[in-house]
Each structure stands twice: as structure tokens, then as C-alpha cells.
Amino acid sequence: MSITAFTARRARTLRLAAVGLPAVAALTLTACNSNEGTGTESEGKPDSATSAPADQASGSNGSGGSDATGGASDGKKGGGTEQAGSSKDGAKGSGGSGGSDNSEQEIGPCDINKLTIGVKSVQRPVNYMVLEVNNHAGVDCNMPGYPILKFGEDAQAATPVYEDSKPQAVVTLAPGETAYAGIRTSSADGSGQNGYKATSLEVFLQGSDDSKSVELPGGSVYIDDTAQVTYWQSDLSNALD
């Protein structure tokens, strides 16, 4: 081969190489771009994975809402329990209060049907008798004022009360206790008028229409217009004073 022919061939080879280099570079660049795209998509998958926990977190927040609802439910339950407890405590308080009220009930007047009543004569003062009543009711009771006495069936009025005998307080009788009232039947010096012999005695308590007939000592007693009866007394000596 001549030098001229070799030179011409080498020049052609170099041209072909020069033309091929840009094509190779273009292919290489395209391949790189394609790989980069794939890398992006591949990285996108982890993003999806990251998004899923975020969604799950969001779902957890929703669950948190459920927890909040549960909390509200628990709160409601707790509130109900407290309310029930409060109501129960209130009921206990009422019971205690009611007990207190029952223990402090006012004492009522004595019932003549639950009293044993008798009358007897005394030696001093002259022309006196004493009326005795005993409480067998089983509870405390008050003896109101003074006894209302009617001597004989024809008595026009009850025996007047001796006002100076009024005690400072109402006489209260516990079960088994006795109260007394003194009775002057007539004047000691005979100055009384309109005297008569009574063969019966009917006893009333103030504030009640019920009465009891009481047997007189010896079956009868002389009554005149000086007759008087004292207020109820807790002591016999005060009834005869």
C-alpha cells in the first residue's frame, strides 16, 4: 500500500470515529436519564411507604377521636357513678335527719283513757281530798292545766280552780309516774253556801271531751260553793299546800 492510500484510509477512519462519538454520547446520556427516572420512581415507592404511616397516623388520630369518645363515655360513666354516690349519700343524710326528728318529737297531752285515776281523803287540811293519776301509756305525756271536776249528776258547773296553785311548768309524766291535784270540798268553818251531798265524781282533762267516773271515799262527799281544785302538781305536798 502506498503512503497516499494509507493516509486516505486513516482520514476516513477518523471521520467515522468523529461521527460515532456524538451518537455514543447521546446514547449514554439517554441511558443515564432513563436510570435517573427509574431512580425517582424507586424513591417514590418509599415516599408511598412514608405516606402510608402518615395515613396510618391520621387513622390513629381518628382512633384518637375514638379514644376521645371513649374518654367521654368514661367521663359519662364516672359522672353517673358520682351522681349515684351523691344520691346515695343524700338518702343516707335524709335517714339520719329523720331519725333526729323522731327522737325530738314534742310530748303530747296525756290521754285520760291511759291514766289510772283515784281520789282519797286526807286528815289535813280539813275537808280536803286528793286526786291522783298514774301514767300507764308507755310514753311520756303532759298533764294539761288542772282537772275539770263535776260532783254529782246535778252539778251546774265544774269546780273552780285555785289560781295561786299554778306551777311554773307543765307537769310531765313518764310511764309509771303520778300527778296530784288537791280538792277542797267545803269551808272548814261552815261559812260556805249552797251545800249538797254528791255521790259521784266525773273527771275530765282540759282539751278533751273524754271523762272517767271516780268512786268517792265512803260513797259520798259534802260540797258547797267554796269548793276548789288545784292545778296538777308533781308533788303531793304542793297539791295540799
Can you give the CATH number for the domain in which 198 is found? 2.60.40
Q: Are residues 51 and 121 in the same domain?
A: no
For residues 10 and 27, membership in a common domain is answered with yes
Let me know whether 160 and 215 are in one domain: yes
Shared domain check, 135 and 207: yes
**How many domains would you assign to the chain?**
2
Residue with cell 280536803: 128
Where is the domain boundary, 76, 105, 134? 105
Domain coverage including residue 231: 112-239
According to the per-residue pLDDT averaged within each range, which of 2-6, 75-79, 104-108, 134-138 is highest? 134-138
Q: pLDDT tens-digit profile of 108-136?
A: 999 999 999 999 999 999 999 999 999 99
Give yes or no: residues 101 and 147 share one domain: no
Provide the terminal-to-terminal Cα distance of the chain, rounded to the nearest Å. 182
Q: Are residues 155 and 219 in the same domain?
A: yes
* Residue 119 and residue 101 in one domain: no
Helix/strand/coil (H/E/C) assignment for every residue in 173-209: ECCCCEEEEEEECCCCCCCCCCCEEECCEEEECCCCC
Q: Which of 73, 105, 137 is the last residue of a domain?
A: 105
Q: Does the pLDDT value for residue 98 go beyond 80?
A: no
* pLDDT band of 9, cuts 50, 70, 90: low
Is this prediction's pTM over 0.75? no
